[in-house]
Amino acid sequence: MDILELMKKRYSAKKYNADKAIPQEKIEALKEVLYLSPSSINIQPWKFTFVQNPEVKAQLAQVSMHNTEKVNQAQLLVVFSVADDLDAFQQIVETELPEARRNWYNQIRASKSETDMKTWLSQQVYIALGVGLTASIALGLDSTAMEGIESDKYKEILNMSAFKPLFAMSVGYGAEDDFNRIEVMPKSRRFLDSVIESI
């Protein structure tokens, strides 16, 4: 299926088939795809937590606002977190990034306030969400982006210190009777001519 067909087919699942297992190789492929996500200066300020453990997933579901049912039903929950402790992240930069990137990062850090740094780092994580949503449908899986999570409680449950959960993505197979299935609910978007400008 070409990319346009895939994008027309994907939709935000609102109800999942809780009984249909995702082949593990698809989950492993999704991990590798997210790992390859692009970011500004290749800074990669993220952590992707793949939750398949039903008990942990149920705990997260409880603190997922209007998304509780989806998190419980979907067989996989991917939590997208951003580096939130800049000094701790500096250690990662020193250890894992090549010198040129490190120097570039240090220049940016020296020139921005802590708030602006954190905003910039968070923006990078949203790129990975776009990659994850597209990769899911390419793998034949349905998904839902979810900003509706209680970040502090996710952080506690996942035992994070230097990273902070920003949003999550549930992944699985959409239920046959999901009102939001593409066959039932046509794609809704603004006017194409108002969004796309061609010069």
Ligand X SMILES: Cc1cc2nc3c(=O)[nH]c(=O)nc-3n(C[C@H](O)[C@H](O)[C@H](O)COP(=O)(O)O)c2cc1C
**By the criterion CB under 6 A, which residues form the site for ligand X?**
11-12, 14, 67, 144-148, 167, 187
CB of 126 to ligand X, least distance (A): 7
Q: Toward ligand X, which CB reaches closer, 27 or 145? A: 145
Q: What is the DSSP letter of 22?
A: P
CB of 7 to ligand X, least distance (A): 9
Q: Toward ligand X, which CB reaches closer, 93 or 171? A: 171
CB of 94 to ligand X, least distance (A): 31
Q: Which amino acid is at 116?
A: D
Q: Can you tell me the distance from the alpha carbon of 47 to that of 86, in angstroms, rounded to the nearest whole number?
A: 14
Q: Can you tell me the distance from the alpha carbon of 193 to that of 199, in angstroms, rounded to the nearest whole number?
A: 12
CB of 95 to ligand X, least distance (A): 30
Q: Toward ligand X, which CB reaches closer, 117 or 137? A: 137
Q: Toward ligand X, which CB reaches closer, 49 or 148? A: 148
- DSSP strands (E only) in the chain: 46-51, 76-83, 142-146, 163-172
Structure tokens at 171: 């992944």
Q: Which of 47, 9, 19, 12 is nearest to 31 (CA)?
A: 47
Residue nearest to ligand X as judged by C-beta position: 148
